[in-house]
């Protein structure tokens, strides 16, 4: 199983699950059971047609501590659960339907790993489990490369299989605007056209987003919207030039993309009219999210006092609308509320960046901008914690999935893709590297809101590219966000290898690393 459970006690005997088995459940658990039956068939082809063998019920679980941090839906739902296999059958219990869903997710993995010729022999055992952190997610860039709803649903399925519960949609950036604002039609008519280079653009209609949010909710995943501001707003200026600076400036990055230096101006009334219209349109499209992500990062060329003023006013507007604020770590340079959440990402040390002779040299015009940004970044996390805010841990070193893969693939075609995927600037990372850290080494667990990886799509040209960077990294993210135990690579590699039949059945693309003996 991935993530590894908190408590596992093997017992004597086994139970055999077949297509004639089924699930007995009270009416209040009909939803999680129906999801389990459908997903199990997609995972491994086993279609349960009976009504016994697996029993699910509501009941308390207190053998493991409750999760730390905050949930993206703002609730205090308990996800702790138990799973017991005896010679008589399987029993799953938990205090909430979501907890039972997590237990059924564990059973999905166990059945898929044991299934042979339509029969799964499950070793007897008792498992009691629960998450270490309440917010466990992935930030998905749908701007630099637009990902259609069908692909986003595949990503949601990946998250759900590994008990991840947040999809943070990065909906706006310099390269495009991907969400409808009916009062500002040019945002999608003009701002949504194109992406990086000659890639096609696009946006999610109101109906498509409603379907995605509902699809995620059915799998106990909360979709959190990000409207990036006051920087990363070139698509806004393309649609509404009157909101932009009088003179646009940019730095060519040499990869088909540019770094744009213009920002929204907090001193102009029309800026705030725009921000309010956007918030009023976007917030209702994400009813399950208690948070709105306001970005706040990389405001190149913006005065510190203007940046702080913008963050403080934008945050106030979010709170006025009944939502909580989350933003990238740079928002810590403004005054925060203790309920705000700060996403810590920039763990690169400017004083050590010259130690790697193989690292590519940034363009000359970009270097001083990066140096200034990295020197300021050292103080962001301490400033956030001093103000009582909690951190979402998303460090580049461990959780940026747009890093190149260091592992070679057994598939020659994947080797060709591996050569061009990921930003060289970060350096390549192995699958083992992704599980060889602990969030507690970065910040006190009591100060952690949650754990979230990020995938940026500068080098991604297709859904296969996207999935190749995400898998098999997503299980490692889940291990770090859910489990309290130290992860041992050889043992983890064995568990990881057992995931491949499900990925194959789901037609997901994954890096077939030669470091793992795939099943």
Helix, coil or strand: residue 73? coil
DSSP state for residue 40 in the 8-state scheme = H
- 135-505: CATH homologous superfamily? Glycosidases (3.20.20.80)
C-alpha–C-alpha distance, residues 224 and 139, integer Å: 9
Question: What angle do helix axes 30-44 and 97-114 make, rounded to 10 degrees?
Answer: 20
Over residues 152-206, the pLDDT tens digits come to: 999 999 999 999 999 999 999 999 999 999 999 999 999 999 999 899 999 999 9
Q: What is the pTM of this model?
A: 0.96
Are 22 and 516 in contact, with CB atoms under 8 Å apart?
Answer: no
Q: What is the pLDDT of residue 348?
A: 75
pLDDT digits (tens, 9 = 90+) for 285-322: 999 999 999 999 999 889 999 999 999 999 999 999 99
* Separation between Cα atoms, residue 446 and residue 449, nearest integer Å: 8
Strand locations in 208-309 (E):
222-229, 250-252, 258-260, 291-295
Q: What is the pLDDT of residue 371?
A: 75
Please give the structure tokens belonging to residue 454: 């990020």
- Of 173, 385, 346, the closest CA to residue 260 belongs to 173
The CATH number that domain 7-129 falls under is: 3.30.379.10
Which uninterrupted H or E stretch holds 160? Answer: helix 149-161
pLDDT reported for residue 141: 98
Domain ranges of the chain: 7-129, 135-505
Please give the chain's pLDDT, 519 residues, in tens: 999 999 999 999 999 999 999 999 999 999 999 999 999 999 999 999 999 999 999 999 999 999 999 999 999 999 999 999 999 999 999 999 999 999 999 999 999 999 999 999 999 999 999 999 999 999 999 999 999 999 999 999 999 999 999 999 999 999 999 999 999 999 999 999 999 989 999 999 999 999 999 999 999 999 999 999 999 999 999 999 999 997 777 777 766 666 777 899 999 999 999 999 999 999 999 999 999 999 999 998 899 999 999 999 999 999 999 999 999 999 999 999 999 999 999 987 655 544 445 555 666 666 677 777 778 899 999 999 999 999 999 999 999 999 999 999 999 999 999 999 999 988 999 999 999 999 999 999 999 999 999 999 999 999 999 999 999 999 999 999 999 999 999 999 999 999 999 999 999 999 999 999 999
404: number of Cβ within 10 Å = 18
Q: Under DSSP, is residue 519 helix (H, G, I), strand (E, B) or coil? A: coil
Give the per-residue pLDDT at 235: 97
Report d(CA 417, CA 412) in Å as an integer: 9
Catalytic annotation on 298?
yes
**How far apart are alpha carbons 477 and 82 in whole angstroms?**
22
Cβ distance 226 to 169 under 8 Å?
yes
Catalytic entry in 84, 98, 298, 432: 298
Residue 351 is predicted with a pLDDT of: 55
Return the pLDDT at 355. Answer: 47
């Amino acid at each position: 199983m991935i993530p590894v459970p908190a408590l596992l006690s093997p017992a004597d005997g086994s139970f055999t699950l077949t297509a004639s088995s089924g699930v007995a459940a009270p009416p209040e658990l009909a939803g999680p059971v129906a999801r389990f039956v459908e997903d199990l068939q997609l995972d491994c082809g086993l279609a349960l047609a009976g009504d016994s063998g697996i029993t699910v019920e509501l009941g308390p679980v207190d053998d493991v501590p409750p999760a730390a941090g905050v949930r993206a839906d703002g609730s205090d739902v308990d996800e702790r659960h138990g799973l017991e296999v005896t010679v008589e059958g399987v029993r799953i219990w938990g205090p909430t339907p979501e907890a039972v869903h997590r237990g059924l997710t564990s059973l999905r993995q166990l059945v898929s790993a044991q299934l042979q010729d339509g029969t799964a022999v499950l070793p007897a055992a008792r498992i009691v489990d629960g998450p270490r952190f309440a917010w466990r997610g992935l930030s998905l860039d749908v701007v630099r490369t637009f990902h259609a709803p069908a692909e986003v649903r595949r990503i949601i399925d990946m998250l759900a299989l590994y008990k991840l519960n947040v999809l943070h949609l990065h909906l706006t950036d310099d390269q495009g605007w991907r969400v409808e604002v009916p009062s500002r039609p040019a945002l999608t008519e003009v701002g949504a056209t194109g992406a990086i280079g000659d890639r096609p653009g696009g946006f999610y209609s109101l109906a498509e987003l409603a379907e995605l949010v509902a699809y995620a909710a059915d799998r106990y995943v909360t979709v959190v919207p990000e409207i990036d501001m006051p920087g990363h707003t070139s698509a806004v200026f393309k649609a509404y030039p009157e909101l932009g600076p009088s003179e646009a400036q940019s730095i060519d990055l040499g990869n088909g993309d540019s770094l744009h230096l213009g920002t929204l101006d907090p001193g102009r009334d029309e800026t705030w009219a725009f921000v309010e219209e956007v918030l009023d349109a976007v917030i209702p499209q994400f009813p399950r999210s208690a948070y709105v992500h306001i970005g706040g990062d990389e405001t190149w060329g913006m005065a510190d006092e203007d940046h702080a003023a913008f963050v403080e006013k934008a945050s106030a507007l979010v709170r006025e609308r009944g939502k909580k604020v989350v933003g990238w770590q740079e928002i810590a340079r403004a005054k925060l509320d203790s309920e705000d959440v700060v996403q810590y990402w920039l763990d690169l040390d400017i004083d050590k960046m010259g130690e790697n002779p193989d690292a590519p040299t940034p363009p000359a015009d970009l270097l001083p901008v990066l140096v200034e940004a990295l020197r300021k970044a050292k103080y962001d996390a301490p400033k956030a914690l001093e103000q009582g805010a909690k951190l979402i841990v998303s460090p580049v070193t461990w959780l940026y999935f747009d890093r190149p893969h260091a592992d070679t693939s057994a598939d020659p075609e994947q080797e060709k893709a591996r050569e061009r995927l990921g930003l060289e600037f970060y350096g390549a990372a192995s699958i083992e590297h992704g599980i060889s850290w602990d969030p507690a080494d970065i910040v006190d667990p009591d100060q952690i809101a949650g754990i979230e990886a990020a995938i940026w799509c500068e080098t991604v040209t297709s859904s296969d590219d996207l999935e190749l960077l995400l898998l098999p990294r997503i299980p490692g993210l889940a291990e770090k966000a859910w489990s309290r135990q130290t992860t041992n690579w050889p043992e983890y590699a064995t568990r990881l290898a057992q995931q491949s039949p499900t990925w194959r059945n789901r037609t997901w693309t994954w890096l077939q690393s030669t470091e793992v003996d795939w099943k």
